[in-house]
Amino acid sequence: MYQKILAASACAMAMVGLAYSIHANWDRLQGGASIPHGREANAQAQPAGAGSFMAQFDTSNLTIPEDDILRGGPPKDGIPALTAPHHTPVSGAGFLNAQDRVVGVSIEGEARAYPIRLLNWHEIVNDELAGEPFAVVYCPLCDSASVIGRRIGGEVLEFGVSGLLHNSNVILYDRTHDALWSQIGFNALSGPHAGQELPHLPFELTTFGQWRRDHRDGTVASFQTGHPRDYSRNPYDAYFQREGLMFPAKGSGDTRLGEKEPVLGVKIGGAVRAYPIDAIARAQRGRIEDELGGHTISLEASRNPSQVKVISAPSEARVVHTFWFAWVSFHPDTTIYGAD
């Protein structure tokens, strides 16, 4: 009931096969293997059978159809989120290369970077800087990075990885209520906060070399996680290099931009807009200002690799870096900066 994939073509069947291969190979992936694809993936495809999987969560007040929620392969917490991770000064982060991408967070003079090489294997890091609890969220299926506040409705929530997907994007759950939350949809999908938006914090997606230059007194979440993972390898590398998705997404047929074109998605009130990283990078000094929802936002970006920084935005702005297909799947009425 909770797993409904309609394969209308051979291409769709290939994507489903690849998706299920993750489930079949999860133990091997943790040891450093790459995600199987092509013929290997199809040979390993098998029904996931959600069955009682959803019973692990509070699905009361669910805001989306149950049939739109798919199993991603790993079980609940099979991808282990981190809480209060071990960290090291940037000067001692010899485990990173200058070109490694990181998600950077700065709050009241405290700055910490979270390597994508770490987030590939954990997807959520619950942390705190300057007394502000937040979570760094990353979904490698759509290269989506965001930073959310964890103080919600008078509670400080801790988030985990549910093992569920919506439009090929990770669904979070909170460990207080076992309710479901959407990263790119920006809100609670079920439980006592259903429909409520997640608060967002400013962040930047940059290289470690650039972060180190800008934040010499900052820290970096380290690979000392207590989990046996090969953080030197990226199991999603082949997926990033080729066309096609591993799971279905409603917006994958929108050709206004390339399926995996990186964008910064911004929502302010009812206004939503995609900012292609390339369009920002081509602007003078790689910086733009724009009006959205009656507010001015300022963004900075560069390419190779994709880097973006929110220079200024109102507190009510909801922001995520992601692939185009994922953004338009959740926000089909989005406008595109420079194209409208």
> What is the Cα–Cα distance from 308 to 292, expressed in whole angstroms?
18
Which residue spans of the chain are classified as CATH 2.102.10?
A: 82-221
Give residues with Cβ within 8 angstroms of 331, minimum separation 6.
Answer: 265, 267, 272, 274
Phi, psi (5° rounding) for residue 64?
-130, 160
The more confident residue out of 294 and 31 is 294
Give 9's pLDDT tier (boundaries 50, 70, 90). very low
- Cβ atoms of 25 and 36 within 8 Å: the answer is yes
Predicted confidence at residue 14, as pLDDT, reads: 39
For residue 318, the number of C-alpha atoms closer than 13 Å in the C-beta half-sphere is: 19
Give 220's pLDDT tier (boundaries 50, 70, 90). very high
Give 45's pLDDT tier (boundaries 50, 70, 90). very low
Please, which residues bridge with residue 312 across strands? Answer: 298
Predicted confidence at residue 7, as pLDDT, reads: 34
3-class SS at 155? Answer: strand
Q: Class of 82-221 per CATH?
A: mainly beta
> What is the Cα–Cα distance from 325 to 291, expressed in whole angstroms?
24
Please, which residues bridge with residue 298 across strands? Answer: 289, 312
- Which pTM was predicted? 0.88
> What is the Cα–Cα distance from 131 to 326, expressed in whole angstroms?
32
Per residue in 242-251, pLDDT (tens digit) is 999 999 999 9
Instruction: Give the mean pLDDT of the chain.
Output: 87
Assess whether pLDDT exceeds 60 at residue 34: no
